[in-house]
């Protein structure tokens, strides 16, 4: 068990008295202002500790003399709850329904087992039948007919060929339909034919994607090449001279329109 407060106070008082005695002995051996002050302070602390111990002893004696209050008996909750339950009146049992005759019981079972037809209410009108679903049309079939006057344009800029060489190729495909122009460009030996073929496919893609047209139903209404910026380069020549080399570029344009049927 832990020490009581009066015992702790007594121990503290004894320690304070011992400290005061030690301080007085030190002051007697070496009487200096510091040791004398320490001895006086120790004596005061010892007096305070003794007074505290005396007060603690008195309080301990008073608490020991007082009688402890008797504990109150606990109420039995379980017994009270059972008594209350017994005291409450029980509800009267409900009277049972008399059994119906056998014939009436059979009729009732037949009515329950018979399926009930779902009759639509009189206020609601019968819904019309949904139309049968048809297969979705392909994208090519959903394209509308090309209106008159529609023009689809594609342009390629800064092509690394001169405008004169590009014009020699586009003169062969101007006014032709898309299929004929593809065949002409595929068998043209000039290098510019590849650039014109790429530009033609770009124009056909624009017509199909942006205007929902059929590429095979189009023709080339216009095809021309404009001059672009010229790149200047130099090469050394005889006697320390420098000669300019012009690397020409061009802008190619193709316009497609629907064929006249």
Which pLDDT belongs to residue 106?
Answer: 53
3-state helix vs strand vs coil in the chain, percent to 5: 50, 15, 35
Structure pTM? 0.45
Per the structure block, which two tokens stand in for 236?
């050394």
Domain 150-258 class, CATH top level: alpha beta
Which pLDDT belongs to residue 15?
Answer: 78
Which pLDDT belongs to residue 102?
Answer: 53
Which of the residues in the chain have pLDDT under 50?
1, 100-101, 103, 105, 108-110, 112, 114, 116, 140-141, 143
Residues near 17 by Cβ (< 8 Å), separated by ≥ 6? 46, 49, 50
Which pLDDT belongs to residue 125?
Answer: 54
Domain boundaries, the chain: 5-61, 150-258
């Amino acid at each position: 068990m832990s020490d009581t407060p009066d015992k702790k106070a007594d121990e503290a008082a004894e320690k304070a008295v011992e400290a005061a005695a030690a301080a007085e002995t030190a002051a007697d051996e070496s009487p200096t202002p510091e040791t004398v002050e320490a001895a006086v302070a120790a004596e005061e602390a010892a007096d305070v500790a003794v007074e505290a111990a005396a007060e603690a002893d008195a309080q301990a004696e008073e608490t020991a003399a007082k009688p402890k209050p008797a504990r109150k008996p606990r109420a039995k909750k379980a017994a009270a709850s059972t008594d209350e339950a017994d005291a409450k009146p029980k509800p009267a049992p409900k009277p049972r329904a008399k059994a119906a005759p056998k014939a009436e019981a059979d009729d009732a079972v037949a009515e329950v087992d018979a399926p009930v037809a779902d009759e639509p209410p009189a206020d609601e009108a019968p819904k019309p039948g949904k139309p049968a679903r048809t297969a979705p049309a392909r994208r090519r079939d959903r394209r509308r007919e090309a209106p008159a006057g529609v023009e689809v344009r594609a342009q390629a800029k800064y092509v690394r060929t001169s405008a004169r060489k590009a014009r020699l190729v586009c003169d062969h495909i101007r006014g032709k339909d898309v299929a004929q122009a593809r065949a002409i460009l595929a068998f043209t030996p000039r290098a510019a034919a590849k650039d014109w073929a790429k530009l033609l496919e770009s124009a056909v893609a624009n017509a199909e994607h942006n205007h929902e047209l059929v590429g095979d139903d189009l023709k080339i209404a216009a095809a021309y090449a404009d001059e672009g910026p010229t790149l200047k380069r130099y090469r050394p020549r005889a006697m320390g001279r420098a000669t300019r080399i012009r690397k020409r570029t061009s802008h190619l344009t193709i316009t497609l329109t629907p064929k006249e049927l």
